[in-house]
Amino acid sequence: KKQYRIAVIPGDGIGKEVMPEGLRVLEAAGKKHGVSVQFDHFDFASWDYYEKHGEMMPADWKAQIGKHDAIYFGAVGWPAKIPDHVSLWGSLIKFRREFDQYVNLRPVRLMPGVPSPLANRKPGDIDFWVVRENTEGEYSSVGGRMFPDTDREFVTQQTVMTRTGVDRILKFAFELAQSRPKKHLTSATKSNGISITMPYWDERVEAMAKKYPKVKWDKYHIDILTANFVLHPDWFDVVVGSNLFGDILSDLGPACTGTIGIAPSGNINPEGNFPSVFEPVHGSAPDIAGQGIANPIGMIWSGAMMMEHLGEKAAAESIVGAIERTLGERTLRTRDLGGNADTTACGKAVADMV
Amino acid sequence: KKQYRIAVIPGDGIGKEVMPEGLRVLEAAGKKHGVSVQFDHFDFASWDYYEKHGEMMPADWKAQIGKHDAIYFGAVGWPAKIPDHVSLWGSLIKFRREFDQYVNLRPVRLMPGVPSPLANRKPGDIDFWVVRENTEGEYSSVGGRMFPDTDREFVTQQTVMTRTGVDRILKFAFELAQSRPKKHLTSATKSNGISITMPYWDERVEAMAKKYPKVKWDKYHIDILTANFVLHPDWFDVVVGSNLFGDILSDLGPACTGTIGIAPSGNINPEGNFPSVFEPVHGSAPDIAGQGIANPIGMIWSGAMMMEHLGEKAAAESIVGAIERTLGERTLRTRDLGGNADTTACGKAVADMV
Ligand SMILES: CC(C)[C@H](C(=O)O)[C@@H](O)C(=O)O
Ligand SMILES: CC(C)[C@H](C(=O)O)[C@@H](O)C(=O)O
């Protein structure tokens, strides 16, 4: 049986507190399902490392983690000490670009025990995926400023969509939709207002849809789509969007299910040419770091996504099942969800139920 | 006493059905508060006009309506007959650009009798304004396509922010915040991902904030901001965003209050060099047009915003009060809100209570 090598990067703040629980659960699931995993620990991509070395990562970071089967990542950033554009663009965004992790994948699922801000929704009602393009689009570095400090001053920044970039994310999304019972895909657009790039996106969606005749698809402009996340979250199965639209929808979706603190995410290179990164959606949370009260579920759930990505479906499903049972018990949930467990107790509970 | 001249453009579909109710209420409010209004009716900016003339508006449209004190607009568009980019860009978007209506203003308010999709919120809990830049930003026409129909194909589109464009919308938003009891402004950004235009936006917000020391302000990245609309709608007072971000927030906000079908909007040229347009947020709704069941509240509420814009505060407030009382009675609400009134009955009810 193959042994997986996982690069473990806890990062900053509560990243360091939830990581041990993620590892605990992966070990338990591995034992149960005969999945052998080797964890290699790295201290870079953190404020601590930056303080010592003046940079977020060593020059040879790619050599150090580029051959691993996946990267299991806690959280990075500490805005009071280091600006986001240094910490994030020096680590996470670098991974996305240089490891060509062109898929950002996040589940939106109403879980037991998690209060939803939406009225009258119960677990099972909301269960879909947001697929976000993760390398181009609105997050380009092309643009600049002219006539600085005068009344004529202006800035421009280009949104860039390539045929390669758009088609591969759409392919991933249609494949995912096709693999699901509902086989339904929704595309986020804004072609009535953003008149060049968005009609191109629509055009590529139509072309790709022809290759997936079993998938029913529709599209909404992003403004009404965000409204429909709130009004009709049960309409969705797989939602695909550009870098910016996907970013928005994959925060809004978890918010609608009350799960922003426990949502997982994958930054995926589907071809496996480079390792993919799995990390909780939450950040390093300086305000609660060091108290042992952080909710480890996002980290643990990200571990399940990692197992799924590695092809270990049984291990992944058993982790998700254990998460659901843990969340269902008030005494096993952390305080942010009205429970009274601390980080470790919650992590142990999931590991026990795996 | 001054007489106002209002250009009335019902447009398409339910626009033609709700307009008479809007006018009915404006007449009643005018009578009560001694505001004299002359209505001039125009049939362009509609599918009917397009069918006859092959264009959305006559060549001299600016001369016909450019001297009015305001434009009262129903709804435009009929996607089955005419593509959005022809109908919308040939009318509404033209008004915004050519009449320099650089402010798009929409209230987000939880009204009595309107079921909110959010749990545990009641009228009074949610009451804020979204101020959207309405002429530049992401809705530029600069960009294009290269290497068409090859694997190298790509498209680009520029986001353009000018000092003039950004500063004037921020000024409007800060002034509005300063005039309100909470004096709180929230700016929508995404400077951690969109690395050129959004940091510029932030920079101008900081500069403008210095001129309004009484206004407390904060900023959120658009992803978490949409989440906070759902999780903490009570946090907001005035929210300002770029053309795209404002577009998203001003659909999401009304969705959170369940009011997308009754929300009003103003496309405003604050200096009064050109007429401003007041219109309901909803579209022409081909699916229910012709049945007399459309909810006229969005149209009526837009009339209140128009009165406010003209400086007729008392008339505006009495219309909003009458709307609230009407919505509070099940028999006076339309069916979309669980009532049993038709369009006319609902409009008459508001007019009676003005
Ligand atoms: C129709 C469309 C171009 C428009 C916009 O995005 O501005 C609409 O969504 C609006 O908000 O008025
Ligand atoms: C930190 C930021 C640049 C990032 C993004 O917008 O991609 C974050 O919001 C995310 O979704 O991972």
Residue A339 pLDDT exceeds 80 = yes
Per-residue pLDDT tens digits for B310-332: 999 999 999 999 999 999 999 99
The predicted pLDDT at position A212 comes to: 98
Q: Ligand 1 pocket, B279 CB below 6 A? A: no
Measured between CA atoms, the residue of chain A closest to residue B154 is: A162
How far does CA A238 lie from the centroid of its chain? 15
Residue A1 pLDDT exceeds 70 = no
pTM score, two decimals? 0.96
Under 8 Å between Cβ of B176 and B184: no
The predicted pLDDT at position B79 comes to: 87
d(CA A97, CA A322): 33
**What's the CA angle centered on B103, arms B132 and B305, to 5 degrees?**
105
Single-letter amino acid, residue A31: K
The percentage of chain A sitting over the pLDDT mark of 90, rounded to a whole number, equals: 95
Average predicted confidence (pLDDT) for chain B: 96
The predicted pLDDT at position B285 comes to: 94
Helix axis angle for B343-353 and B14-33, nearest 10°, is 10
> Using a CB-CB distance cutoff of 8 angstroms, which residues of chain B are in contact with residue A104?
none
Distance from CA of B198 to the nearest CA of A (A): 9
Please spell the DSSP secondary structure of B17-37, one letter per residue: HHHHHHHHHHHHHHHHHT-EE
Chain A stretch 64-93, residues whose beta carbon is closer than 8 A to a beta carbon of chain B:
84-85, 88-89
What's the rounded mean pLDDT across residues A74-102?
A: 93
What is the rounded end-to-end Cα distance, in angstroms, of chain B? 21
Residue B198 pLDDT exceeds 90 = yes
Strands A184-189 and A264-268: unpaired
Under 8 Å between Cβ of B304 and B264: yes
Tokens encoding B189? 């950004």
The predicted pLDDT at position B2 comes to: 76
User: Which of A152, A193, A227 is closest, CB to CB, to B252?
Assistant: A227
User: Which of A117, A153, A231 is closest, CB to CB, to B119?
Assistant: A117
What's the rounded mean pLDDT across residues A248-270?
A: 95
Per-residue pLDDT tens digits for B127-164: 999 999 999 999 998 999 999 999 999 999 999 999 99
d(CA B142, CA A124): 45
